[in-house]
Amino acid sequence: MPINRKWRPWKTQYSRTQSQQTETQTNTEASGLLGRWFNRTWLGHLLLGVWAISGAIAASTNWSLGQSMERQTQEFFFQLRGSVKPPNNIVILA
């Protein structure tokens, strides 16, 4: 039984000329890819901008919530680090 290598069921057969078909497919594929890329990129840029602006506002207004979060973060890092003995060659004058 001979194999028909030109038979491709996943390819759509168009009734247009080859130049019209190629131009239409190229435009459709390019706009589809660009649209998907633009939507994902736009959303990422929007979220990044929102985080940057909210961080700038929180830092500039010096809210107690921001200070509290910063202290808790520093305390957590000190707990992770554990106690550290001071070196012997340091003298504290009081």
Which residue range is the domain that position 68 belongs to?
18-81
Residue 21 contacts by C-beta under 8 Å, 6 or more apart in sequence?
14
Q: Examine residue 53 and state whether it is found in any structural domain, yes or no.
A: yes
Query: Which letter, b or e, does each residue of 30-68 get, where b requires 16 or more Cβ atoms within 10 Å of its Cβ?
Result: eeeeeeeeeeeeeeeeeeeeeeeeeeeeeeeeeeeeeee
In a domain, 3, yes or no: no
Structural domain contains residue 69: yes
Number of independent structural domains in the chain: 1
Tens of pLDDT, residue by residue over 29-58, are 555 666 666 667 788 888 999 999 998 888
pLDDT of 10: 61
Q: The whole model's pTM is what? A: 0.38
Higher-pLDDT residue of 78, 65: 78
**4, part of any domain:** no
pLDDT of residue 64: 85
Mean pLDDT value across residues 5-27: 57
